[in-house]
């Protein structure tokens, strides 16, 4: 029973992390219809940047977190500016191949800079509340580390904030307009390119937070962007790509499915479960669980 409860907690925490990454995929897809493969790498860079800020520059965790978000946001904007913006009117295949190339380049850049060795936030540089032995014991004997509580709360707060941003602010309205019809939005005086850049910044900043969260629980490696990125992408597809609420729920579902699959089926198939869900959704219902039935998009 306690093991079951711990699995659920693990799944929810992982799901929150996936949801934060998935939002980045889905927002970009909603506006420019591009699968930003490099998003997983931005998430990985977020973890590494925070790690470097804390261990090399000795910056406290609470400052390193927003700083890493800002730096990653700029990285995301830069990627859009350099690689995707020139291809806005090119065939879709070109942009997709560019995204793959960007992902490949960034992942191996990270491998060159930080080597393939897995790294960790060492316990002495973190606030003591994040140490894994600091936990509440739930009824039934399951332990719930404060770290996991922090991750879940932060993920929830960011999600709600993002939701409010999109539905209540002027920039959010501009984003929704661009997602509906970029040409018409441009004619109405919305600077489409700026809105797209802001979308990239927000998505990348959220990705950076997710990267740091993974760093708190697991190790940081150059390939984590690829593995976690695919699972998060599966979450975005499951929720209906382009749909932000769907991405959040999809993240939770994929997180739970992955943890339970690894726990009760086989740990070797941890990632395969996300792939199976992803393929199943695309083949059976391409619009996802919560998407409008738009048929198959080109």
Partner 1 sequence: MKNQLTPKNITFGLFICFLPLLMYGIDAIALFLSHRNIYLGFPSGDYMLRIIVRAYLYMLLAIGLNIVCGFTGLLDLGYVGFYLIGGYTAGLLMARLGVNYWIALPLAVLNGALWGLLRGAPTLRLTGDYFAIVTFGFAELLFRIVKNEQWLIGGPNGLVRDIPPPSILGVVFNQNWHNYYHILILLILVVFIAYRLQHSRVGRAWVAIREDEQAAESMGINVSRYKALAFAVSAAIGGLGGGFVAQFQVNISAPFFEFWESILILCMVVLGGMGSIRGAMIGAAILGSLGEVLRPGFIIPYQFGGSRYLIFGLILILLMRFRPGGLTLRKAS
- Write the binding mask 235 to 274 for partner 1: x where contact by CB under 8 A, - elsewhere: --x----------------------------x-xx-xx--
CB of 63 to partner 1, least distance (A): 30
Tell whether residue 169 is a contact of partner 1 (CB under 8 A). no
Q: How far apart are CA 58 and CA 11, in angstroms?
A: 32
Is there binding between residue 95 and partner 1 (CB under 8 A)?
Answer: yes
Identify the residue among 63, 97, 153, 188 touching partner 1 (CB under 8 A).
97
- Of 16 and 261, the one with the shorter C-beta distance to partner 1 is 261
Out of 10, 26, 98, 204, which residue is the one contacting partner 1 (CB under 8 A)?
Answer: 98
Q: How far is the CB of 179 from partner 1 (least distance, A)?
A: 16
Task: Report the alpha-carbon distance of residue 260 to residue 4 in Å, rounded.
Answer: 9
Q: How many CB atoms lie within 10 A of CB 55?
A: 16
Binding-site string for partner 1 from residue 28 to residue 67, where x marks contact by CB under 8 A and - marks none: -----xxx--------------------------------
Selection from 165, 237, 210, 240 nearest residue 20 by Cα? 210
Closest contact distance (angstroms) between CB of 58 and partner 1 is 25
Give the C-alpha distances (Å, rounded to integers) separating 69 from 17, 28, 48, 211, 236: 15, 17, 12, 10, 21
Q: How far is CA 82 from CA 88, 95, 99, in A?
A: 11, 12, 11
**Rounded Cα distance, 240 and 261, in Å:** 22
Q: Which of residues 114-133 bind partner 1 (CB under 8 A)?
A: 115-116
Alpha helices in 115-269 (DSSP H): 146-168, 170-180, 182-187, 192-217, 224-238, 244-264
- Of the pair 9, 199, the CB lying nearest partner 1 is at 199
Residues that bind partner 1 (CB under 8 A): 33-35, 83, 86-87, 90-98, 100-112, 115-116, 222, 230, 233, 237, 266, 268-269, 271-272, 275-276, 278-279, 282-283, 286, 296-298
């Amino acid at each position: 029973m306690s093991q079951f409860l711990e699995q659920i907690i693990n799944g929810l925490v992982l799901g929150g992390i996936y949801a934060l990454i998935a939002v980045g995929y889905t927002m970009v897809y909603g506006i420019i219809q591009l699968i930003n493969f490099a998003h997983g790498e931005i998430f990985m860079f977020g973890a590494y940047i925070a790690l470097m800020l804390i261990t090399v520059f000795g910056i406290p965790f609470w400052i390193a977190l927003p700083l890493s978000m800002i730096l990653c946001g700029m990285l995301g904007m830069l990627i859009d500016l350099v690689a995707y913006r020139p291809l806005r009117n090119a065939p879709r295949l070109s942009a997709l191949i560019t995204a793959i190339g960007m992902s490949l380049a960034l992942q191996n850049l990270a491998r060159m800079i930080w080597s393939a060795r897995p790294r960790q936030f060492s316990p002495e540089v973190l606030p003591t509340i994040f140490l894994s032995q600091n936990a509440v014991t739930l009824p039934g004997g399951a332990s719930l580390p404060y770290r996991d509580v922090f991750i879940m709360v932060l993920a929830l707060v960011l999600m709600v904030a993002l939701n409010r941003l999109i539905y209540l602010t002027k920039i959010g309205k501009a984003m929704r307009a661009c997602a509906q019809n970029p040409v018409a939005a441009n004619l109405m005086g919305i600077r489409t390119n700026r809105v797209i850049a802001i979308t990239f910044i927000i998505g990348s900043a959220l990705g950076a937070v997710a990267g740091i969260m993974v760093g708190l629980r697991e190790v940081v490696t150059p390939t984590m962007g690829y593995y976690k990125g695919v699972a998060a992408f599966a979450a975005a597809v499951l929720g209906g790509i382009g749909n932000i609420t769907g991405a959040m729920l999809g993240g939770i579902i994929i997180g739970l499915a992955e943890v339970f699959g690894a726990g009760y089926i086989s740990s070797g198939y941890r990632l395969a479960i996300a792939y199976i869900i992803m393929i199943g959704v695309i083949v059976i219902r391409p619009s996802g669980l919560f998407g409008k039935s738009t048929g198959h998009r080109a």
